[in-house]
Amino acid sequence: MHQVIALDPGTYRRHALHGPDRIWAETNCYTDVVIELLHGLGCEPSAALAFTLGVDFEGDEWTFFKFRDADLEQLYGWEVEELAPWRPLLEHVEEQLRQGRPVLVEMDSFYLPDTQGTAYRLAHVKSTVAVNRVDRDARRMGYFHNQGYHELGGEDFDAVFQPTQQVHERMLPPYIEYVKRRREPLRGPDLREASLGLLRRQLGRLPDRNPFESFGPRFEADLAWLMQGDMETFHTYAFVTWRQFGACYELAHSYLDWLGGQGVPGLDDASRALREISESSKAFQFQLARAMARKRAPSLEVIARMAECWGAAMDSLRARYG
């Protein structure tokens, strides 16, 4: 058996960023798993959320937001390195865990029991997990995924690791990363000041144009074919648009609130504006689903209001910390 830290899925308490009061219960697979991995290893993930301010509309979807490797290294002493798979996956995972390194790896949610009711034994969906523990003999794996820490075993263990190498010749190896912890994470005032430095740097990376001014016309054009689609089309489209930026700006709101709680002034107005975007995106997603069912296009006034909120938030942040 190999593990990085002793954790029990039954007693593990998820981070507040995955608490019951969230607007968006989940963000995306990579961001969620890193939140819980940081939390599980005793670090504060909120400090590294400056990257959420810089997302943009990329033409057909919003930025797939994720923690920046450089930020993780600066705040927590983490180096996230890609692993080149040349041996069976289980052997790679065991090797890295033996050295105290969690392993981030793409797995099939069809075999991840924490996705019960959505993908588990229902759909083959790629998702990133962070492996903390494996026991080859007992056929058990402890892993971070989505909103918490979980365990799988038995047939699911065999399916995700394929220990007998019964794989199809066209199956490509998964993308694998491992976390090397070079030094102790920053704490207290040092963490706050380093995070504030990330905020200032991120303000220099904001989109050149208000992203909602780009998204509005494209979404209006997409409605022509979207209204003719089914619910599967809706969920696919919403995930990369309304849900993507809605969940991201809720994290951005939480980030500014965390800084405010650390004594950093002048963030309240921007925080409220970003929360309004997140709340509005969640409400509109439900409206869009109903509109598609009725084949009646919804009003798009909300996008203009989101553009106002984004502009006000970024102007406020730039004026004080840009």
Give the start-to-end residue ranges of the domains of the chain: 2-42+78-181, 188-321
pLDDT per position as a tens digit, 258-301: 999 999 999 999 999 999 999 999 999 999 999 998 888 999 99
Percent of the chain whose predicted confidence (pLDDT) is above 70:
97
Count of other CB atoms within 10 angstroms of residue 182: 9
pLDDT of residue 276: 98
pLDDT per position as a tens digit, 45-81: 999 999 999 999 999 999 999 999 999 999 999 999 9
SS in 3 state form for 189-210? HHHHHHHHHHHHHHHCCCCCCC
Residue from 97, 77, 67, 48 nearest 181 by CA:
77
pLDDT of residue 162: 83
Is the sign of the CA dihedral 14, 16, 17, 21 positive or negative? Answer: positive
Rounded CA-CA distance 263/105 in Å is: 37
Per-residue pLDDT band for 1 (boundaries 50, 70, 90) equals: very high
Is the sign of the CA dihedral 256, 259, 260, 266 positive or negative? Answer: negative
Both structure tokens of 150: 């979980």
Long-range residue pairs from 224-230, CB within 8 A, at least 24 positions apart, any chain: 226/292, 227/291, 227/292, 227/295, 227/297, 229/292
CA angle 5, 7, 10 (to 5 degrees): 170
**234 vs 187, 192, 242, CA distance in Å?**
43, 40, 11
pLDDT exceeds cutoff 70 at 307: yes
